[in-house]
């Protein structure tokens, strides 16, 4: 299980709604198995409604911010503007960093962007990770 603070959860959903109908993306910072902060990044993908490409400059900036705060980059988040928060074939293909937690914000049963789920993607295999309160 991985814990996530209410603040980080709220920040991911707010970013996802703001970016709609495009996908948003960002980094997850924290300690051990606890996501404490979600740092937004630019999505550089041209077809940003269906994929994301995290701006490398934002990636570096977030890594620096984590180091300065004594935190770790635990993983990444992105959104599925109109579909369920489960990894797409593209997400699986493009997942690097096997130790990373991948958080996806997506549409819940109501169709609204209201749900977040976490996964690990290692060697093309997806494993769901339980998200607890933090
Ligand atoms: Zn995706």
**Cα 71 to averaged position of ligand 1 atoms, centre (Å):** 25
Give 54's strand partners: 43
Please tell me the pTM assigned to this model: 0.95
The Cα–Cα gap between 134 and 103 comes to 15
Domain that holds residue 8: 2-133
Q: Which residues contact 16 (CB under 8 A, 6 or more apart)?
A: 24, 79, 81, 105, 113
In percent, how much of the chain has pLDDT > 70?
100
Catalytic residue annotation? 23
**Cα 78 to averaged position of ligand 1 atoms, centre (Å):** 6
E strands, the chain, where? 2-4, 25-31, 34-41, 72-79, 101-107, 113-122, 125-129, 131-133
Residue 81: phi, psi to the nearest 5? -55, -35
What is the dihedral angle through the alpha carbons of 93, 95, 98, 104, rounded to the nearest 10 degrees? Answer: -120
**Cα 86 to averaged position of ligand 1 atoms, centre (Å):** 7
Tens digits of residue pLDDT in 17-56: 999 999 999 999 999 899 999 999 999 998 888 889 999 9
**Cα 27 to averaged position of ligand 1 atoms, centre (Å):** 14
Per-residue pLDDT at 131: 96
CATH of residue 101 = 3.40.140.10
Confidence of residue 134 (pLDDT cuts 50, 70, 90): confident
| Number of domains into which the chain is organized | 1
Residue 29 near residue 70, CB atoms below 8 Å: no
């Amino acid at each position: 299980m991985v814990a996530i603070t209410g603040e980080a959860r709220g920040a991911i959903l707010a970013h996802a709604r703001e970016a709609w109908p495009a996908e948003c993306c960002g980094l997850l910072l924290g300690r051990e198995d606890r996501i404490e902060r979600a740092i937004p990044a630019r999505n550089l993908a041209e077809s940003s409604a269906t994929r994301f490409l995290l701006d490398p400059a934002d990636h570096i900036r977030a890594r620096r911010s984590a180091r300065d705060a004594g935190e770790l980059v635990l993983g990444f988040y992105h959104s599925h503007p109109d579909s369920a928060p489960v990894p797409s074939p593209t997400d699986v293909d493009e997942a690097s960093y096997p130790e990373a937690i991948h958080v996806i914000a997506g549409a819940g049963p109501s169709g609204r962007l209201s749900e977040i789920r976490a996964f690990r993607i290692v060697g093309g295999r997806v494993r769901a990770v339980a998200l607890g309160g933090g």
